[in-house]
Structure 1
Amino acid sequence: MAQVNDCDGSGGSSAPQFPHQYTENSERVLSEDEHQKLKNDQVLVSDFKQNKLEMEAQKNWDLFYKRNSTKFFKDRHWTTREFEELRACREFETQKLVMLEAGCGVGNCIFPLLEDDLNLFIYACDFSPRAVEFVKENSLYCPERSLAFQCDLTKDDLRATISEESLDVATLIFVLSAIHPDKMQQALENIYKVLKPEGIVLFRDYGLYDHAMLRFKSGSKLGDNFYVRQDGTRSFFFSREYLASLFHQAGFQTVVNEYVLRETVNKKEGLCVPRVFLQSKFSKPQ
C-alpha cells in the first residue's frame, strides 16, 4: 500500500472535507464485502520480517521524516476544541499547566498551542531523532516554554527528563497505534509514572474498521488489527474494549472512551469513505 496521509485526515494539498461526525459506543458495522475481505486476509508477514520491522522501527520513522520533513501533516488546531483540558489553562493564569506531547512528530500539536499563548509548559518527545530536531528548529520553539527530547516510550524512563508525578496532562494523538501491541503496556506505564494523581491522558487514534485498515493489501498483516505500510511504519486499529483494557492494566481509569465516526469526502476523486477514530480520556486515580 502506498504511504498516504491517513493519520487524522487533515493533510495533503487536496484535504478531505468532513461533513458528518458523530460519536458512537459500538463499532462500525462492516458491509458484506468488507467483512469478506478481512475474513480472507489471514496470511501474516513472516516472523523474520516482523522482527526486522521491530528492530528497524526507529530507522523507518526517521526515514519517513527525512522524506517528508515538516510538510506531511497539517497543524492540529482542533485539539483545544476537542479537549477542554487544554482550554482550561487559559482560565487559571497563575497556574501553569504542565503537559507532555508523547510522540510529538514535528510539532503539529504543540506549536498551535504555544502560538495561542496558552499558560502551559510542554514536554515533547518522539521516537525519531530527526523529528525532534525539526521541532527544535521551528521558530516557535521556545526553551522557556517547551523541552523537546528523543525517547522510546517503551523502554526509556520518562523520569530521566520529567519529574515523577509532575504532569497535569499527557497527549497520545495517533501515536500508540505505531507501537507494537506487545509494548503498548510499557508505554502507558511509563506515562503513568510522570502524571500527577488525577492527571489525565488525552487520546485520539485509529478505530477498528477505519477505512485505512480496509485499504491494506494482502501481505501487509502483522497480527490482529495490526498492519505494515509500504515504508515499514506500522499501524494498529483499536476497539474500545481493547484500548480500555490496556489503560486499566496500566492503572488508569476511564473518563471517556468513544468512537468518532466520520464520512470523509474527497471531491477531487469523487470518494466518500468511512473514517473511524477513538477519542478517549483516561485519568490517574487520586
Structure 2
Amino acid sequence: MRALWRFPLAPAIEVAGWFSCKRAKSEGRPPAPLGARILTNPEHIFRHNMWDHVQWSEQEKEFARQKVTENSREKIPVAEQAKFDIDASKYWDGFYEMHQNKFFKDRSWLFHEFPELLTTETPGCILVPEPGEGQRNGAPTLQQGSGGDGETADFPGKQASFRIFEIGCGAGNSVFPIISSIRGTGSFLYCCDFSPRAVRLVKDHPGYDGSVCHAFVHDIRQGGAVLPFPPRSLDVVLLVFMLSSVHPARVQDVVSRLAHFLKPGGVLLFRDYGRYDLSQLRFKKGRCLSENFYTRGDGTCVYFFTKDEIHELFKSAGLEEIQNLEDRRLQVNRGKKVVMRRVWMQGKFRKPCPSP
C-alpha cells in the first residue's frame, strides 16, 4: 500500500497559522462551487475528511516548489520517453486489467459542480451548416460515411435534443451517474476511452443503457480518427482527469479538435490535477518526463496544470472562459491524523455564437 505523503508538521502553536482557511469577503464564506466546508478553528481539523477553499502560506508554497524541483531534477532518458506516449493506451489497458472498476468511486460531486449536464435545453445559438463542414481543417468525418453532411446522416443519438460527450470515461465513474439522470429527458451520452478494457467494463456494467448511451474505443489524440457524430453536434464535452494523461505537446490539438464538435453555445466542462497537488509532490526522483509531467510505476502519465495554462489552452481553441478555478482542499485521514493538501483545477468554457 502506498504510504501517505505528509507536509511537515509544525509545533502546535504554529499549526493554527499553517492550516488556516480564509473566508471569502462575500457574506463570510465562499459560495458553491467547490464546496463550503470552511475550517475556521484549526483545533477542529480532524472533525471531517475534507476542508474546502484552503489558503496556503508562503512557507507551504515554498515547500511544495522545493519538492517539485527535487523530484524533477532527474528525468527519464530521452530515448526512453517516447514509449510512454506511443504505448499510452496499453499502459491504461493494463491499469484497468489490474483494477477493473474498483479503483475510482462514482463522482457524487458531478452534478453539483456541473449542473450543465442536467439541462434539457440546447444552447441558444442557431446552427447553420456550411458546405463541407465535416471535411474542413482536418476534422474527422462521420463513421457512417455521409460525405460530411452531418445534418442528414444517421448516427447514434441523432434524435436526441441534448448531446453529451465524455472523453476518457474509464470504467464509467461519470457515465453511470449521468445515465441514471438523463433517462426520459431527451438527452444522449457518448463516452469513449482509448483503453479497450475500460470500454468493455462500461458496456458490461448492469447500468449501461444503449438507448441513452453509446460507448466506444477512441484515441482522441489521433486527428484522423473518426467519431460517431458530426461536427458542431454536441451540447457538452466533459473532460474529467483526462487531459493530464496526454503528453503536453498534444494537449492543444486535443482541445481544439473537441471544440470543433461543440455546437455554438455549447460548453466544455473540465476538471483535472493542479500544480503542487499531493500526488505531484509524492513522485520519486527518476519519474519525471518533462516539466510537471510524470510517469507512474504502471506506465500511465500525469501532468499538473496552472490556471494560466488552462486559460491559454482553451482560449487558443476559440472558447470563452466561464469559469477557471483552482480548487485547494485539505484531505484528512482522521485515523492516522494525517493532513494532505490537494489541488485540482476546474473550468467551464463556451463556444461562441457566430456573429449575425
From 65, 70, 85, give the equivalent of 2:116.
85
Contact 1:89 1:95 in 2 (8 A): no
- SS of residue in 2 equivalent to 1:71: coil
Are 2:200 and 1:170 aligned? no
Q: Secondary structure at the match of 2:206?
A: coil
Q: Once the 2 structures are TM-superposed, how far is the Cα of residue 39 of structure 1 from its aligned partner? A: 2.6
The amino acid of 2:250's aligned partner reads K
User: Whole-Å Cα distance in 2 between the matches of residues 153 and 267 of structure 1?
Assistant: 40
User: Structure 2 CA distance, aligned partners of 1:186 and 1:220?
Assistant: 25
User: Superposed, which structure 2 residues align to 1:75-114 within 5 Å?
Assistant: 75-89=106-120, 96-114=161-179
Quote the Cα distance in structure 1 between the aligned partners of 2:115 and 2:344. 18
CA 28–247 in structure 1, closer or farther in 2 if over 3 Å, else same? farther
Deviation at 1:266, TM superposition (A): 1.2
Select the structure of larger CA radius of gyration.
Answer: 2
8 Å contact kept, 2:199–2:217? yes
Match of 2:102 among 71, 96, 99: 71
Specify whether residues 257 and 31 from structure 1 end up closer, same or farther in structure 2 by C-alpha distance, changes over 3 A only: closer
Tell me which residue corresponds to 2:255: 188
Matches within 5 A, 1:1-286: 18-22=49-53, 30-41=60-71, 42-89=73-120, 96-118=161-183, 119=185, 120-157=187-224, 160-286=227-353
Q: Which has the higher contact order (CA 8 A, sep 6+)?
A: 1
CA displacement 1:73-98 (0-9 Å, x = unmatched): 11112111111212323999x98321
Contact map agreement 1:260 1:279 (CA 8 A) in 2: yes
CA distance in 2, matches of 1:222, 1:183: 14
The answer to whether the 8 Å contact 2:193/2:199 transfers is yes
Q: CA RMSD in A?
A: 2.6
**Secondary structure, aligned partner of 1:89:** coil
* Per-residue deviation, 1:280: 0.4
State the percentage of identical aligned residues: 37
Q: Does the CA contact (< 8 Å) of 1:27 and 1:239 recur in 2?
A: no
Report how far residue 28 of structure 1 moved: 8.7
Which residue type is aligned with residue 65 of structure 2?
H
Structure with the largest fraction of strand? 1
Name the SS of the counterpart of 2:252 in structure 1.
helix
Report the TM-score when normalising by structure 2: 0.71
User: Aligned to 2:352, what secondary structure does the other structure show?
Assistant: coil
Change (3 A) 1:29 1:225: farther
Distance 1:57-1:81 versus aligned 2 partners, 3 A rule: same
AA of the residue aligned to 1:72: F
Look up the SS of the partner of 2:257 in the other structure: helix
State the distance in 2 between where 1:96 and 1:65 align: 33
Query: For 2:332 and 2:272, how far apart are their aligned partners in 1?
Result: 20
Matched position secondary structure for 2:343: strand
- CA contact 2:96–2:198 (8 Å) conserved in 1: yes
The structural deviation recorded for 1:270 is 2.2
Query: Relative to structure 1, is the Cα distance of residues 164 and 173 closer, same or farther in structure 2, using a 3 angstrom cutoff?
Result: same
Q: Structure 2 regions of 5+ residues with no counterpart?
A: 5-47, 124-158
Q: Any gaps of 5 or more consecutive residues in structure 1?
A: 5-16
Shift of 1:243: 1.2
Give the drift of 1:248: 1.3
Output one character per residue of 1:75-130: Cα deviation in whole Å (capped at 9) or x when no partner.
Answer: 112111111212323999x9832100111111110101211345220000101011
Counterpart code for 1:51: A
Following superposition, the deviation at residue 18 of structure 1 comes to 4.1
Shift of 1:144: 1.2
Q: Does the C-alpha gap of structure 1 residues 123 and 158 become closer, same or farther in structure 2, counting only changes over 3 Å?
A: farther
Q: Give how far 1:38 is off.
A: 2.3
Superposed displacement of residue 22, structure 1: 2.1
- Whole-angstrom CA distance in 2 between matches of 1:43 and 1:248: 33
Superposition TM-score, scaled by structure 1 size? 0.87
Contact 1:158–1:190, Cα closer than 8 Å, also in 2 = no
Contact in 1 for aligned 2:49/2:334 (Cα 8 Å): no
| Distance apart, 1:158 and its partner CA | 6.5
Matched residue type, 2:87? E
